[in-house]
Amino acid sequence: MRSFRRLTITTLVAVYVLILVGGIVRSTGSGMGCPDWPKCFGSWVPPKSVSELPANYKEIYAQYREKKNVRFAKYLRFIGLRDTAEKLQTDKSILQEADFNPTKTWVEYLNRVVGVIIGLMIFAVSVSSLRFWRTDRSLTLLAIGTFLLVGFQGWIGSFVVSSNLTPWTVTVHMFLALVIVAMLFYLVHLSDPVKDNFQTPLGFWWLLSCIAVLLVQVLLGTRVREAIDVVAGSLPREYWISELGETFSLHRSFSWIVLILHVGLILNLRKTEGLKAFPLTLILLILGTILTGVGMAFFAVPAFLQPVHLLLATVSFGMQFRLLLKLKGNVKQVLAD
C-alpha cells in the first residue's frame, strides 16, 4: 500500500503539472498549434517550419476538422443537445485555419506529450491497484474508473481541437480535469494508513458551500477567458480588461464571496485538533488565487500569471476535497440528525 500511495501522489502532482502546462497553452494562444489529434500536422513529430507542410495545408486540416465535427454532432444529438450540434456544423468560423506558428505548434505538442505521460502514469496506478482487489475492491474500482475517465478526457480533447477551441468544449475539458483530480485525491485518501474522521457537522456543510462557490468561480473564470479570446484578436493587451464588461465584473465581485466563506471555514475549524493546517493552507491558496487575479486586472493580463492563477484555483479545489474526505464521516451523522 505504501508504494501504491507514493505512485498515486506522484501522479497527482504530475496532473497538476499538466494543468499548469495547459494554462500556458491557453495563455500563449497555442491551443490550435496542432490542428489535428492525436498527431500534429499528420505526424508524431511536428514540423519546424511551414516549408515542411503542403501549400494547401489550411484546406486539408479544415476538411479534417469538419469531418470530425460531423461525428461529434451525432453524439451531441444522441444525448439531446440538438441546438449545440447544429451550431457546431453551421458555424464556419470553426473551420478557419490559423497560419502555421512553430512556437505555438511545439507548445501544444509538448502539452500532448505531458498528457500521454500522465495517461501512462494513471494506467500504472490502475494496474498497481489490482493487487488490492480482494482486500479493498473500492480502491481498485476507483483506480480503474480514473483511468477510463482519463481516456474519455483525451477523447473530449480531440473534439476541443476539431471544434477550434469552442468555449463550451474547453469548459467541459477543464471540469473533467477537476473530477480526475478529485478521484486521485480519493485514492490518496483510501491508501492513507491513518483513517481519521473529524466530527464537525457545521464545518462539513460550510466546506461544501466553499467547494460550491469555488466551482462557480472557476466557471465564471472560464467565461472571462472566453471573453478575452474574443477581444484579444482585435485589441492591444492593455485594453482587454476594460472591454470585458459584466463578465469580468461578476467574476471579480464573486471572489469576495469565495474569500468570506473560506474565512468563515477557518473560524469554524480553528479549534479542531488535527485539522488546523488544512484550512490555513486553503485560505493561503485562495488568497494567492485572488491576488493573481488582481495582478491580471491591474497589469494587462500578463501571460505568465494566467497559468499560475488557474493552477492555484485547481490546487485550492484539491485541498478542499482532501479536507472533505477528512470530514466525510459526518455525512451519515448529519443526515441522521
Domain residue spans of the chain: 1-194, 196-337
Residue 275 has pLDDT above 80, yes or no: no
pLDDT in the model for residue 239: 84
What is the pLDDT confidence band of residue 86, given thresholds at 50, 70 and 90?
A: confident
What is the pLDDT confidence band of residue 328, given thresholds at 50, 70 and 90?
A: low
Quick one: average pLDDT of 275-284?
Answer: 82
Rounded alpha-carbon distances, angstroms, from residue 293 to 159, 173, 304, 311: 29, 21, 12, 12
Residue 326 has pLDDT above 70, yes or no: yes
Phi, psi of 335 (to 5 degrees): -65, -40
pLDDT in the model for residue 227: 83
Q: Higher pLDDT residue, 121 or 84?
A: 121
Q: What is the distance between the alpha carbons of residues 305 and 309, in angstroms, rounded to a whole number?
A: 6
Nearest to 182 by CA among 2, 12, 4: 12
What is the pLDDT confidence band of residue 199, given thresholds at 50, 70 and 90?
A: low
Residue 15 has pLDDT above 90, yes or no: yes
What is the pLDDT confidence band of residue 73, given thresholds at 50, 70 and 90?
A: confident
Residue 332 has pLDDT above 60, yes or no: no
Q: What is this structure's pTM? A: 0.86
Residue 333 has pLDDT above 50, yes or no: no
Residue 335 has pLDDT above 60, yes or no: no
